[in-house]
Amino acid sequence: MKAIVLKEHGGSDGLALETREGLKPGAGEIVVANAFAGLNFIDIYQRRGLYPVALPAVLGGEGAGVVKSVGADVTGLRQGDRVAWYGGGGGYAEETLVPAGMAAKIPGGVSYEVAAATFLKGLTAEMLARQVYPLKKGDTALIHAAAGGVGTLLVQWAKHLGATVIAIVGSKAKEATARGAGADHVIVRDETDDIAGAARDLTGGKGVDVVYDSVGAATYAASLDALALRGMFVSYGNASGPVPAFAPLELARRGSLFLTRPTLFHYATPDRLQAMAADLFAMLEKGALKPASPTVFPLEKAGEAQALLETGTTTGSIVLRV
């Protein structure tokens, strides 16, 4: 089988196409013949070494395809099933070995391409909007990177739950994408030096109930300053670098704030994944989530796809056609 292999941490040019032996499932595992693999910022963090992985490694934490073979003790899945999966890696390849508990059947109304583009990102949006800070009518949410893969889904999910959404985008060119996803207000980062002040102006000085921040180092201070009393800062990404350490007293000084750093691996566990996936696919099938058509690269262009994602100029998702 063909696979994209990372042999040393560094730039996207370190991703190389290789031919490897086919995979065989062990107990509790399935082998998925991927149709598409999704790209995510965690892949870039792993490539750079921010999130260390043992080398050589095949990156890629989500994909969609057909179950090629099934190991012992697997129930609920069989050869030929259409599935989406997420997990610890191996997605940039024609085949991926997946723990059966980390895969879910794809309903007929969802294509492989859409499933690969939205599974990990959609589960993340579900986690953020339904579990980490369960949004409800009357809440106001500030969403960074609102034109990105997770951001557009999160904006739509937040609106579906009745929240008012203030979207943050990096450039004027992305404003239309955020508004198209349903954002009530859009703040363009390169047009203001005071995101927190702009957010407070939009909330009558009160601040927002929750901030969903995937940018990290460049935005965390503004995120904290934008929150209302007892608001929650949800830091779930490091696109600009990790958030630096700061004293817990800063949370008290700003209004007895809450801080959480969730990761999907602690929410979409095998005992919870099926319910979360069913919720995601239902939202897709009824049109409550309308992801933009993803940007598609062939598998052998994985390095170019990652380089594009790193620029911060993309909207929506990027997938590899396997």
Mean pLDDT across 130-154? 96
Same domain membership, residue 81 and residue 15: yes
pLDDT of residue 312: 80
Domain count for the chain: 2
The CATH number covering residue 26 comes to 3.90.180.10
Lowest mean pLDDT among 12-16, 49-53, 81-85, 176-180: 49-53
Instruction: With respect to residue 130, please indicate whether it lies within any of the assigned structural domains.
Output: no
When the pLDDT of each residue in the chain is averaged and rounded to a whole number, the result is 96
Q: What's the pTM value of the predicted model, to 2 decimals?
A: 0.91
**Residues in a beta bridge with 208:** 227
Give the residue ranges of DSSP H helices in the chain: 41-48, 112-126, 149-160, 175-180, 195-202, 220-225, 249-253, 270-285, 302-310
Same domain membership, residue 18 and residue 111: yes
pLDDT tens, residue by residue, 17-67: 999 999 999 999 999 999 999 999 889 989 999 888 999 999 999 999 999
- Cα–Cα distance, 240 to 73 (Å, whole number): 42
Residue 4 has pLDDT above 90, yes or no: yes
| Helices and strands in the chain: count of H runs, count of E runs | 9, 15
Angle value at C-alpha 107, between 102 and 109, nearest 5 degrees = 140
Parent domain of 144: 136-260
pLDDT of residue 316: 75
Same domain membership, residue 61 and residue 41: yes
pLDDT tens, residue by residue, 266-282: 999 999 999 999 999 99
Same domain membership, residue 300 and residue 242: no
Same domain membership, residue 241 and residue 203: yes
Same domain membership, residue 214 and residue 182: yes
